[in-house]
Structure 1
C-alpha cells in the first residue's frame, strides 16, 4: 500500500546484487535506484515490471567495471593503487582510488590499505603520514560515503607526495628473524624488573644506568641479550629520518651510541 507495494514487480537476483554493491551500504541510494527502475521500466502484457541487471545498472547511474572483489582484476586494481602511491604519482593514485570507489569498493578496505602503506612505504621519513591515514579511517566511520571520499583523497595525496622509506618494515622483519634464532636468550640482569620483593637479592636491575641522570638523556648501555647484534634499524638519509640518522651518528661519534646504531 505504500511505496512500490501496489506494483507487480519481479527483479533478477543479479539486479539486486548490483544495486546492493553500487549503493555501498547507502540504503537511500539502493531504494532510489530500485524506485527509478520500477517507474521507468515498461510493464509487460500482464503489467509485470521486470527489472534486469542492465536496467539496475542504468538506474544506479553506475558503469559496470570489471571489478570482481574476489577476482584478479580487483587485486590488480589494488596493486596499481598501492604502487602508484609508493611511486609518488599523486594523479595515478587518485585515479585508482576513484576506480575503486566507482566500483563500490568498501571504503574501510581502502582506509586499511592507507594505514598499512603509510607505515610500510613512508614510515619515519614522514611520521605524520600515518596520522593522516588514521584520520581518514576515522572519517570513513564518522561521516561515511560519499563525503568520506574527500578525506580518503586527502590521505592518498599526502602519502603519495611524502618522502618514502621502508626502513620500518625492514627493521621489524629483521628483528623477527633474529628472534627465531635467539628467543631462548635471557633478559640481561641489569634490565630485569627490580620492583618486586626479593628482586634485589637476585641482582635484578643492578648496574642499570637511568638515562635521565645523564647529559642529553642518553647514556651508552647494552639493551640486547649477549650475542644479538643491534643492526635492525637503518634510517634513510632524507625526510625526518635524516634527523634520526644524524642523531644516531652523533651519539656513535661521541662514544655514547648504542652498539649497532
Structure 2
C-alpha cells in the first residue's frame, strides 16, 4: 500500500487529464489558449479548496517547460521570496525561460511580503501564479493585483466528481487491485462539497476501513466511516467551509448561542480572524440589509478593528458583532433585488438609456434630445416627481420588494406615497 495520499497519486500531469474548470481550460477556453500559445502572464487562481489550483499551476509549468518554484504563504517569508528571485536572476545569464513562482494561499502574505514580489513580477524575472480561497481584491495589494489576471475556479460539478471516482478505482495503483463497486454515490458527493481532494480522502478512508474482497460503497457505509473517523476526515482544516457555513446559518437563523459556539470553534481552530470579519460584513448586507442598516456599519467597524488589533483580543470584537447580527431583524431584499436586476440584464442585454436621463455635456447631445424633459426632483414639492428611470422595454419591472420588518415598512409607506399603485403590493 502506497504511503502517498490518493489525491496526490491521481494528480493530473497534463491539461487533457485535468478534470473540471471547462470554462477556463476546456477546448477554446481563455486559459487553455494562453497556455497553448506558450505566452503566459502572471495570474491569480481564485477558488475553493480542492478544485485544482495547485494542479493547474504545475501543469502550466510542465507544459511550458519552465522551472517551477512553490512557496506556501503560511510557512514562507520575504527571505524565501528573495531566494527564489535571486535564482531567477542567475538563470537569466543562460537564456533560460523565466521560472514560474507559485504561491499557495497568497492572501495570507503580508503587505511587506507582497511588496517583495513586485519588482520581480514587473521586470519579468518570474511569472507569478498565486492561489487563493479568498477574494483577491481584499487581500492582494493593488500594484500586484493590477499586474495579474484573475481566474475564478468553481466547485466541481457532479459529472466531474464521478469521473474522478471512476479514475480512482480503475487507474490508481492500489485501488485497481480491489473490487470496488459504487452502489450509491450521494453521500460521497455530498461530503465532498465539490472538493476533489476531500472526495478522494473520503474514498480512501472508506476503502481502507473495509477488509472484504469486494467493497460495496453505500451512503450508509460512507456516513458511518466518517462519523467514526472524524479526526482523519478533518485533517488539514477540511471542515473549514462546513464550520463557516454553520456560523453564517446560525446568525441568519437568529441564534446567538449557535453563532458564538461556531465562532469559538473557528477561533480555537486557528481560523484567520480577518476571514471571519469579512464574512460578517457580507452577511450584514445580504441577510440583515435594510431591516437594520446599522448592522453593516458595525460589521465594517469590526472588520477595521480586527485588522488593527488582531488576536487574541479581536475575539471579543468578533463576539460582539456576531451577537448583534444574530439578534438583529433580518431582510434579504437588497440581495434579492440585485439578483433579479442582474438576471434581467443577462436576458435583455444593453437596453438603451432613456433620452431624458442621459448626460448632455455638448450642444450636439442636447440637439439630439439628451436630457430633454428631465424633471429635477428638488424643484418639486417633497423633492419628488414621478418619471420613468428604466428603459422603455422594462419600465414596469419591480426589483426591490420591501419585506415585513419595521425598517422596511417605513420604506414601503414612503414608496407608496411617491409611486402609488406601483408599490402597493
| Fold equivalence (TM over 0.5) | yes
* Superposition map of 1:19-30 within 5 A: none
Matched residue, 2:280 = 114
Shift of the alpha carbon at 1:150? 1.3
Shift of the alpha carbon at 1:66? 7.5
Matched residue, 1:241 = 408
Matched residue, 1:232 = 399
> Which stretch shows the higher mean deviation, 74-83 or 98-107?
74-83
Aligned counterpart for 2:360 among listed residues 186, 194, 201: 194
Matched residue, 1:205 = 371
Matched, 1:134 2:300: yes
* Superposition map of 1:32-181 within 5 A: 68=235, 71=238, 73-181=239-347
4+ aligned runs moved over 6 Å, structure 1 = none
Q: Please give the alpha-carbon distance, in whole angstroms, between the structure 2 residues aligned to 1:197 and 1:227.
A: 28
Contact 2:386–2:419, Cα closer than 8 Å, also in 1: no
Q: Please give the alpha-carbon distance, in whole angstroms, between the structure 2 residues aligned to 1:130 and 1:102.
A: 26
Matched residue, 1:51 = none
Contact 2:355–2:369, Cα closer than 8 Å, also in 1: yes
In structure 2, the CA distance between the partners of 1:141 and 1:92, relative to structure 1 (3 Å rule), is same
1:101-152 deviations in Å (ceiling 9; x for gaps) = 0100000110111011111110110001111110111011111111111111
Shift of the alpha carbon at 1:155? 0.9
In structure 2, the CA distance between the partners of 1:75 and 1:132, relative to structure 1 (3 Å rule), is same
Number of aligned positions between the proteins: 198
* CA RMSD, Structure 1 to Structure 2 (Å): 2.5
**Aligned partner of residue 132 in structure 1, secondary structure:** helix
Q: Please give the alpha-carbon distance, in whole angstroms, between the structure 1 residues aligned to 2:276 and 2:415.
A: 35
Q: Please give the alpha-carbon distance, in whole angstroms, between the structure 2 residues aligned to 1:260 and 1:191.
A: 26
**Aligned partner of residue 400 in structure 2, secondary structure:** coil
Q: Please give the alpha-carbon distance, in whole angstroms, between the structure 2 residues aligned to 1:69 and 1:135.
A: 31
Shift of the alpha carbon at 1:227? 1.5
Matched residue, 1:38 = none
In structure 2, the CA distance between the partners of 1:148 and 1:238, relative to structure 1 (3 Å rule), is same
Shift of the alpha carbon at 1:167? 0.8
Question: Which has more radius of gyration?
Answer: 1
Q: Which has the higher contact order (CA 8 A, sep 6+)?
A: 1
Matched, 1:219 2:385: yes
Matched residue, 2:119 = none
Shift of the alpha carbon at 1:188? 0.5
Q: Please give the alpha-carbon distance, in whole angstroms, between the structure 2 residues aligned to 1:219 and 1:260.
A: 18
1:30-66 deviations in Å (ceiling 9; x for gaps) = xxxxxxxxxxxxxxxxxxxxxxxxxxxxxxxxxx998
Contact 1:190–1:208, Cα closer than 8 Å, also in 2: yes
Q: Which runs of 5+ in 2 are unaligned?
A: 1-73, 76-107, 110-230
TM-score by length of 1: 0.70
Q: Please give the alpha-carbon distance, in whole angstroms, between the structure 2 residues aligned to 1:111 and 1:206.
A: 47
1:139-184 deviations in Å (ceiling 9; x for gaps) = 1111111111111111101110110011111100000011112223
